[in-house]
Amino acid sequence: MPQGKALDLSQASAVEGHDRRIHGTNDYKDIAGAAIVVVTAGLPRKPGMSREDLLSANARIILDVCGQIKRFASEAIVIIVTNPLDLMTHLAHKTLGFPRPRVIGMAGVLDTARMRYFLAERLDAVPRDVEAVVLGGHGDLMVPVSSQSRHKGKDVKDLIGADDLARIEQRTRDGGAEIVQLLKTGSAFYAPASSAAQMAKAILKSENRVLPVCTHLAGEYGIQDLFFGVPAEIGAGGVRRVVELPLAEAEKRSLLLSAQKVRQGVEDLGRLGF
């Protein structure tokens, strides 16, 4: 299958006008020397399945994949996309033993993109004119930070009623589940792929760009020793620093509650032997 996907993408290069060489492979040895490895391997969610339902099955997959990355691409920066995202990023770091800045989870970029789209839809605007950020665990307790949301510099709370804004926040939390329900089989892949590509570009081009990602916290936001979704400066080497945003009191409480749930998930991983 990867060979067919690679050939299909390669043939599009004549239309897209790029000169990249794309290779499909079933052999881990072909990742040798990779600067970045993006891990998407895992079971997809099915209708009615929460991210937590995937925990044990996908943990075994992450153990295997990260063992191969450690063997063949020990200098790579690793971007985790597999769900449950925060827990799989924790497990990947534990398995790889790489420096913490080189193990990053892709969650906040995607969740933020969804929120920007929903806000733009409500405002009859274009998403690029909307600023937003989503923090916290990639799950039911993610925290859409409406206090930081703007449209062309204007606070969205002055443009959208409280009830509509609350609905947009909830739709953001349910963004993945909504797509699962519509697709019937499988889950989202276009927006997650774009989000992972944005992270990879920031690393490869040393953009030092602030993006919401899952990274290790050491006291930032009052959260200690946890892989968790926060804004971070991304550039050469991976995560350069965590960026602490001013949050409303309710947002702070929600963020700590989300962190508590992720920490419980880490404990569940331990009880399962991971």
Could you tell me the pTM of the whole model?
A: 0.94
Strand blocks (E) in the chain: 36-39, 77-80, 103-105, 130-131, 134-135, 143-144, 150-151, 154-155, 209-218, 224-235, 238-242
Mean pLDDT confidence for 40-52: 74
206-226 pLDDT, tens digit per residue, is 999 999 999 999 999 999 999
Weakest mean pLDDT among 17-26, 164-173, 184-193, 220-229: 184-193
Does the pLDDT at position 52 exceed 80?
Answer: no
Q: Which CATH architecture has domain 108-271?
A: Alpha-Beta Complex (3.90)
Per-residue model confidence (pLDDT) at position 97: 98
In the set 18, 90, 93, 138, the catalytic residue is: 138
For the chain, the average pLDDT equals 95
User: pLDDT exceeding 70 applies to what percent of the chain?
Assistant: 97
Per-residue model confidence (pLDDT) at position 44: 73
Residue type, 38: V
Query: What is the distance between the alpha carbons of residues 208 and 204, in angstroms, rounded to a whole number?
Result: 10
Does the pLDDT at position 256 exceed 90?
Answer: yes
Per-residue model confidence (pLDDT) at position 55: 85
Does the annotation count 138 as an active-site position? yes
Mean pLDDT confidence for 185-194: 90
Q: 3-class DSSP state for residue 233? A: strand
Does the pLDDT at position 50 exceed 70?
Answer: no
Q: Which CATH architecture has domain 2-105?
A: 3-Layer(aba) Sandwich (3.40)
Q: Which residue has the higher pLDDT, 55 or 137?
A: 137
Query: What is the distance between the alpha carbons of residues 254 and 136, in angstroms, rounded to a whole number?
Result: 8
Give 45's pLDDT tier (boundaries 50, 70, 90).
low
User: pLDDT exceeding 90 applies to what percent of the chain?
Assistant: 88
Non-local (6+) Cβ contacts of 138 within 8 A are 51, 83, 84, 85, 86, 105, 107, 108, 110, 111, 214, 229
Mean pLDDT confidence for 114-143: 97
Q: Looking at the chain, which residues constitute the CATH 3.90.110.10 domain(s)?
A: 108-271
Give 186's pLDDT tier (boundaries 50, 70, 90).
confident
Per-residue model confidence (pLDDT) at position 184: 84
Per-residue model confidence (pLDDT) at position 75: 98
Per-residue model confidence (pLDDT) at position 224: 97
Place of tokens 């925060």: 86
103-122 pLDDT, tens digit per residue, is 999 999 999 999 999 999 99
Helix pair 249-271, 85-96: axis angle to 10 deg:
50
Per-residue model confidence (pLDDT) at position 223: 98
Per-residue model confidence (pLDDT) at position 185: 81
Q: Looking at the chain, which residues constitute the CATH 3.40.50.720 domain(s)?
A: 2-105
